Amino acid sequence: MVMSISVQSLGLILLAAVLLQTIAVAVSFMYFNKVLNTMQESFSRSSMSCLVNPNLNFLDAADKKSDPCWQVTQQLHYYLKKKIVERFQIPTPERRVSLPKVGAHVTGVVSSAEPPNSESLRSSKGYLGERIREWEGQRGLSFLQNIELRGGELLVPRAGLYYIYAQTYFKLPSMGEMDGETREEQGAQLVQYIYKKMSSYTAPILLMKSIRSVCWPRGQEPGLFSLHQAGTAFLQPADRLFITVSNASVIEMDGRANYFGAFLVS
């Protein structure tokens, strides 16, 4: 009889212990769940306050790196930018092309050619054609990188192999606008020369020339022609490059159609 009562008491004690443990676990779960919800709401409010916080723009660079709100906004901006680019297939900007270490690209200037003359052979200055003395080296598409532009000449700063190029644009009037004497004098042969002038040599040296024979336009519209040439040459410091043409009077000095340049290859 005593043994039976003891077993029942032990069973009740164990059952009470299990119930108490269950209640404790349930209470603990409810408490921590409430704490987590409170932390989540607090974090959400904090995140929203980060997004609308106007003072972030006035932080110093050092403070921005350590400020959690700044990090949140930066990550959000990066994510939104990435998704927008993917969604609308926006092309990413190309890297800006770096300029050569030594190079120049100059463009035409209105009324930049010498007054035309009737000489068709080598002039007393030692070169053929009429010089183009003025080029634009700073504005628009032009640039000068460690090369000087003086009186229509590019001054080479250092020795090396250079890639040199030039283009000139001619606008020939129609035959109805010219008399026979003028047509015979100017002809219909267009020539472009690229010269090099050396300090150790008196006469300029012809590097390249481009020739085109054309017919004078017979209609009311003028004839439009261009000459382009390019090549490489080994240049020394203080060498000068310049351009001459056979028919300076019919040059149309448009900046996008007339250009001249050189850059160091090696």
Residue positions forming the annotated binding site for Zn(2+): 215
**Per the annotation, where are the binding residues?**
215
Instruction: Using alpha carbons, list the distances in angstroms from residue 71 to 4, 45, 49, 79, 85.
Output: 69, 16, 13, 12, 21
Side chain identity, residue 122 = R
The answer to whether 167 and 226 have CB atoms below 8 angstroms apart is yes
Q: List the beta bridge partners of residue 167.
A: 228, 259
The answer to whether 156 and 162 have CB atoms below 8 angstroms apart is yes
Kind of pairing, strands 223-235 and 103-108? unpaired
DSSP code per residue over 236-249: -TT-EEEEEES-GG
Which of 75, 73, 67, 79 lies closest to 51 in space, CA to CA? Answer: 73
